[in-house]
A and B are shown apart, each in its own frame.
Chain A
């Protein structure tokens, strides 16, 4: 049981390049989330999904797109990277029942945009 995994662990991009971050979970969770973590800012929600085929915007969605084609996977895309997107990105997942509302986090992806 691997929990939540993220690929890649680290990436360097040039401004304007595109990339996709992959999140996978093997806990059969309905909900999945993408956050970014910046120094002194805590975690901010980018996009989230409450089920396969559904996505919704979070607090800071601009410049990002997401897809949830399979229940276990949640992809985060950057179409044209900008230096402001330099950050650590975390994926998380959780059950839908409020009593089980604990988010399980992946190890993170460090992204540097030059």
Chain B
């Protein structure tokens, strides 16, 4: 079975400071990992993904994430937070070896960037 955990319901950060949103996963095979963002009253938007290759993945809006196989983590990071980054962030995983097309999403982390 595949699962993903986002240990923080909410993260508060001051504008201009670096931000980190944490994600850990569990799969039996190799993971495909994703970050999505949801703004109020909107659908989810894709930010970035790790399928294979370089462990540091760069995505939209200056976000990046690092795949760490030994720690089974895929934390989302940004060097300098903007107020407009305030949103709900979801980590998702799919087990590449499970023969399934299903993504499992975390429960989400609300990011608030304080001016």
Contact = CB atoms under 8 A, between A and B. Distances in A.
Interface residues of A, number: 26
B107 A42 contact: yes
Given A31-B101, A45-B102, A58-B102, A102 B43 contact: no
Interface string A6-50: 000000000000000000000000010001000011111100101
Nearest to B48: A102
A92 B107 CA distance: 18
Contacts of A4: 43
A2 interface: no
A102 B46 contact: yes
Nearest to A91: B43
Interface of B: 9, 32, 34, 36, 41-46, 49, 51, 90, 94, 96, 101-108
